[in-house]
């Protein structure tokens, strides 16, 4: 913690950056995103297992308020670094325009409000297959990287269950979960990779995605969200954590991640130079489904 | 089967059977031209297809397929140039990746993937276009109306 504060203080004092995006104590037991703009404010920065948010989201160009604070330094976990790499890969952020502070993480809580200590049962699912290493994007590394050892992600078992169902059963399942969706759009707002200035879902002429929260509009929204994130989603699961309706969005993002990995050999990477699978192709991509 | 019977089977609404509505999204340069050839060659095919011509399969957003189902289509055909033949060099390669992902997503969501036909039909394959159309219609006819999707609006709790 001291190391992090010291670093932030130095970066702000010598005007290397205008803002350090990190975490601070929030109301109750949770932490919240923090924007330190002076060396004094660097004192409020914290980092521990409650720091679940993906701060790479704040680097997206649509966050104009954050951009107005000057050059950012951002505190990233290994998972967040992949989102940052995605933004660089897709030309939304220039690598030289951001200072990357990689923090040794070791896993975060699934529910930071629980007040529980980090354990096998309490850890966020995405941490289960994380190697915990500092990202190669790091300008500064804080803490000794350690690999969390929490077994395989639980979402995979749920996926296998769904996969074992018949198609009508799966349709019924998604109908039941999508019927909870109120189209509050928090899954989009929280997503580091949803950076369009104007989302397709907000366009009304033509209206590709019906905006009312009925099943037909919800199916269109969740399918097109999955398509727009396929091969781009880094699996930070912020959408699922933020969803007030408890929709298991990680099932969909994880499924698409597997499709992309099996078909195109791509997994989310913290190397911005690895081309995104949707911006590239191979002459011999499988086409067994095309007549 | 005599030619007369073949044509009879391909005429609409014979004997009260279910006539599926099929939306076809095709590229201008290959499949549309191929379908045109099918017409000038008098290839017999069933008339259930509404065709939408686009510049390239690369322009075919998967939102089109969803919208077609929303508007009452029972099946969809997506067709364009064979790999290597794209008028814009690589539009169909990009489209192929997108369609592959969409097919798997549909399947995952429990939407019967047999309702969507992806095909490559070149400008010289008028007969293949006739076959793709007939096969798709027969397949979707056997599946019946896509009521699962059509009733989503009413079923909203």
pLDDT tens for B35-72 read 999 999 999 999 999 999 999 999 999 999 999 999 99
Structural domains of chain B sorted by starting position, each given as residue range(s) with its CATH number in brackets: 19-149 (3.40.50.960)
Q: Would the pLDDT of B1 be above 60?
A: no
Choose the final residue of a domain: A111, A142, A173. A142
Render pLDDT for A41-86 as a digit per residue (tens, 0 to 9): 999 999 999 999 999 999 998 898 999 999 999 999 999 999 999 9
The reply to whether B156 touches chain A by the CB within 8 Å rule is yes
Same domain, A198 and A249: yes
Query: Which candidate in A163, A167, A210, A278 is best for mutational testing of the B interface (most B CBs within 10 A)?
Result: A167
Low-confidence residues of chain A: pLDDT under 70 = none
The reply to whether A277 touches chain B by the CB within 8 Å rule is yes
The C-alpha atoms of residue B29 and residue B54 are separated, in whole angstroms, by: 9
Choose the final residue of a domain: A75, A108, A142. A142
CB contacts, 8 Å: B85 with chain A: none
A204 in a domain, yes or no? yes
Choose the final residue of a domain: A83, A108, A142. A142
The C-alpha atoms of residue B129 and residue B131 are separated, in whole angstroms, by: 5
The C-alpha atoms of residue A167 and residue B118 are separated, in whole angstroms, by: 20
Same domain, A120 and A209: no
What's the number of CA atoms in the CB half-sphere (13 Å) around residue B70? 19
Q: Which of residues 11-50 of B touch A (CB under 8 A)?
A: none
A284 in a domain, yes or no? no
Among A202-206, A254-258, B102-106, B122-126, name the one with the lowest average pLDDT.
A202-206
Which pLDDT score, from 0 to 100, does residue B11 have?
A: 58
C-beta of residue A35 within 8 angstroms of C-beta of residue A45: no
Same domain, A63 and A95: yes
- For chain A, what is the domain count? 2
Strands (E), B2-138: 22-27, 49-54, 75-80, 116-120
| Nearest residue in A to B118, CA atom | A290
Q: Would the pLDDT of B2 be above 50?
A: no
Measured in whole angstroms, how far is the alpha carbon of residue A207 from the centre of its chain? 27
Same domain, A204 and A109: no
Domain that holds residue A199: 154-279
Same domain, A136 and A158: no
Same domain, A158 and A137: no
Element (H, E) at A5: helix A2-13
Same domain, A138 and A162: no
Based on its alpha-carbon atoms, the radius of gyration of chain B, rounded to whole angstroms, reads 16
Query: Which candidate in B100, B129, B148 is best for mutational testing of the A interface (most A CBs within 10 A)?
Result: B100
A290 in a domain, yes or no? no
A177 in a domain, yes or no? yes
Same domain, A39 and A136: yes
State yes or no: ipTM above 0.85: yes
Residue B120 has its nearest CB partner, among A282, A283, A290, at A290
């Amino acid at each position: 913690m001291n190391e992090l504060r010291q670093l932030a203080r130095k970066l702000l004092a010598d005007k290397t950056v205008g803002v350090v995006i990190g975490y601070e104590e929030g109301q109750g037991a949770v932490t919240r995103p923090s924007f330190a703009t002076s060396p004094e404010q660097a004192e409020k920065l914290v980092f521990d297992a409650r720091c679940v948010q993906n701060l790479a989201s704040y680097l997206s160009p649509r966050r104009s308020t954050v951009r107005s604070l000057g050059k950012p330094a951002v505190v990233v976990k290994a998972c967040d670094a992949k989102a940052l790499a995605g933004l660089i890969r897709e030309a939304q952020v220039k690598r030289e325009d951001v200072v990357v502070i990689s923090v040794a993480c070791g896993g975060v809580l699934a529910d930071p409000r629980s007040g529980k200590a980090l354990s096998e049962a309490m850890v966020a699912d995405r941490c289960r297959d994380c190697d915990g290493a500092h990202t190669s994007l790091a300008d500064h590394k804080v803490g000794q990287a350690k690999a969390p050892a929490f077994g395989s992600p639980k979402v995979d078992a749920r996926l296998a269950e769904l996969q074992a169902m018949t198609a009508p059963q799966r349709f019924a399942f998604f109908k039941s979960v999508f019927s909870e969706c109120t189209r509050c759009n928090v899954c989009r707002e929280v997503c580091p990779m949803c950076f369009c200035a104007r989302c397709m879902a907000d366009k009304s002429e033509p209206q590709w995605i019906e905006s009312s929260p009925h099943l037909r509009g919800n199916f269109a929204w969740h399918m097109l969200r999955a398509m727009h994130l396929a091969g781009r989603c880094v699996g930070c699961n912020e959408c699922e954590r933020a969803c007030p309706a408890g929709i298991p969005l990680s099932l969909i993002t994880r499924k698409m991640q597997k499709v992309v990995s099996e078909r195109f050999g791509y997994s989310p990477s913290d190397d911005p130079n690895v081309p995104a699978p949707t911006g590239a192709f191979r002459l011999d991509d499988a086409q067994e489904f095309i007549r | 089967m005599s030619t007369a019977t073949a044509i009879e089977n391909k005429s609409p609404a014979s004997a009260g059977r279910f006539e599926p509505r099929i939306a076809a999204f095709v590229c201008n340069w290959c499949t549309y031209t191929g379908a045109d050839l099918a017409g000038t060659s008098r290839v017999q095919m069933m008339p259930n297809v509404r065709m939408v011509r686009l510049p390239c399969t690369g322009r075919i957003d998967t939102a089109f397929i969803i919208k077609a189902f929303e508007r009452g289509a029972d099946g969809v055909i997506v067709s364009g140039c064979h790999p290597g033949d794209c008028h814009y060099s690589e539009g169909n390669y990009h489209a192929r990746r997108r369609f592959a992902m969409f097919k798997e997503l549909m399947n995952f969501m429990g939407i019967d993937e047999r309702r969507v036909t992806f095909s490559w039909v070149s400008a010289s394959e008028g007969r293949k276009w006739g076959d793709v159309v007939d096969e798709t219609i027969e397949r979707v006819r056997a599946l019946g109306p896509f009521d699962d999707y059509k009733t989503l609006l009413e079923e909203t709790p």
